[in-house]
Amino acid sequence: GAVVSQHPSWVICKSGTSVKIECRSLDFQATTMFWYRQFPKQSLMLMATSNEGSKATYEQGVEKDKFLINHASLTLSTLTVTSAHPEDSSFYICSARDPGTPNQHFGDGTRLSIL
Amino acid sequence: DAKTTQPPSMDCAEGRAANLPCNHSTISGNEYVYWYRQIHSQGPQYIIHGLKNNETNEMASLIITEDRKSSTLILPHATLRDTAVYYCIASPPVYQLIWGAGTKLIIKP
């Protein structure tokens, strides 16, 4: 079945560091990818929709200068958390829409801890 | 806000069928019913989806009422590995998914 690979799976950084998370669709081309954030014991919250070759669409309350999204190819989207602070610590999850179906396929998430 | 309501938690004995209900009384005609699950500290896993008809795959069955206002996900023979949070989502096919709180399903030995 369709596979989405997310890297890294976990990262621990000092405050002020920028962190890049990659999301790859391994066996299909994804013109649209989604980025979510999940805090402990809460549901997924959509951060932004990433479209190949164009600017991402951010949800209300998500700072686009803080969370930089690049979708330069049909199989890769990246999320960069710039100048990360402890309150940015969370579980970040990407998904890619399979153009052949109405489904989304999810990566295994990235656990980000900012000290 | 999520357009679906689910019970916050359910228990099921191992080997029995787990029936997870979902209400989506305001579902639109072009919206599918999707089911995903999330095992602790992992990304969500697609289970099944449907529009009007009942659906079955290797993981589960989806029963959608005729008026489409509710549905039931059936795991026919639950195992301990089925313990997870199960999310029912109503959404058009190319739209972003809006996640509710889901149902925490605990399978007991």
Whole-number pLDDT of residue A84:
95
Whole-number pLDDT of residue A6:
96
Give tens-digit pLDDT for B54-107. Answer: 999 999 999 999 999 999 999 999 999 999 999 999 988 777 788 899 999 999
Q: A45: which chain B residues are within 8 Å (Cβ-Cβ)? A: 99
Burial class (CB in 10 A: 0-12, 13-18, 19+), A70: middle
Give tens-digit pLDDT for A12-63. Answer: 999 999 999 999 999 889 889 999 999 998 999 999 999 888 889 999 999 9
B43 with A6: Cβ contact below 8 A? yes
Q: A36: which chain B residues are within 8 Å (Cβ-Cβ)? A: 99
Best to test chain A binding among B48, B59, B97, B103 (most A CBs inside 10 Å): B97
Whole-number pLDDT of residue A19:
97
Binned at pLDDT 50, 70 and 90, residue A2 comes out as low
Whole-number pLDDT of residue B95:
75
Whole-number pLDDT of residue A98:
81
B2: pLDDT strictly greater than 80: no
Is residue B105 a contact partner of residue B42, using CB atoms and an 8 Å limit? no
- Find, in chain B, the residue whose alpha carbon is nearest to that of A50: B96
Whole-number pLDDT of residue A99:
80
Give tens-digit pLDDT for B13-69. Answer: 999 999 999 999 999 998 999 999 999 889 999 999 999 999 999 999 999 999 999
Amino acid making up residue A7: H
pLDDT over 90, % of chain A: 74
